[in-house]
Amino acid sequence: MATKGEMFAGLTVALVTPFKNQQIDFDALKKLVDWHVSEGTDCLAPCGTTGESPTLDHDEHEKVVAAVCEHARGRIKVMAGTGSNSTREAIRLTKAAKKAGADGALMVGPYYNKPTQDGYFKHFAAVADACDLPIVLYNIPGRTGSNMLPETIAKLAKLPPVVAVKEATGSMDQASSIAALCDITLLSGDDSLTLPLMSIGGRGVVSVVGNIVPRDMKAMLTAWEAGKLADAIKWHYKLFSLCRDMLGIATNPIPIKTAMKMLGRDTGELRLPMCPMEAALDAKLKQTLTAYGLL
């Protein structure tokens, strides 16, 4: 039986939100969409963690999703970030994404208020009930402050709109438990763990590194799908230090935006409380990009 949510298999890029003088640069955003279409990216996820959604106001959030959907239409899929720690707000954002033409919603678990497992279930069930849009659960305890357990995810997977999970716990045991309990599509939420996750039934990644090397991420996924294990492992090790640094040397999206600035692809502007890295880390990032062959 095919897994539920197969439409989100492959490479989804967690898109950055470009800023110019602290305002959203919509022209730059559209250029990013065009670039990903030409690079062969399968899907774009605007307004996730990488898109600095916590510092976009509600109006901006909806405008970014709408701009990406409109510009992407018919060319590349869109999985819009619509999560919130308020269920009413999550419903509103998901309805707005549906109206804008998104193919699905990427919904982070409620952060800061740390719901119980029953609270998690009721939160997502309420959104699923209110909005007819495929939902990709996003479990990232390091950001939200609590973990959505595999049993809760399996229970949610029985709801028709819930089709996939972005697994960002860093725990292969948790990912294996989810895969064993239900037929939901498993997507990696950590670039460096994508290949290990594929080996236990994962179907793709929601990628940060894909903002700069989508073709290479895609090449690794394609090699795995084709049964070319040695090639997939080669890609894994080529990508590894880049993946590690993008999520390791400073909080995401600081390193990826800095890297895009170094590559002439973004202003590198962030919104407070995100701020630029110190010079020593800049130098380390430059070294990684150079070693990879990007600089």
Indicate which residues carry an active-site annotation.
138, 166
| 106 touches 136 (CB < 8 A) | yes
Is residue 1 packed enough to be buried (19+ CB in 10 Å), middle (13-18) or exposed (0-12)? exposed
Give the position of tokens 């460096």. Answer: 192
**Helix extents (H) in the chain:** 26-39, 58-72, 87-100, 117-130, 141-144, 150-156, 172-181, 194-199, 214-225, 229-248, 254-262, 279-292
> Which residue's entry shows tokens 């600089």?
295
Closest CA to 69 of 20, 15, 131, 138: 15
264: burial class by Cβ within 10 Å (0-12, 13-18, 19+)?
exposed
Give the DSSP letter of residue 18: -
**Please, what is the angle between helix 87-100 and helix 58-72, to 10°?**
30
Distance of CA 44 to the CA centre of its chain: 8
Residue 151: Cβ-neighbour burial (10 angstroms; 0-12, 13-18, 19+): middle
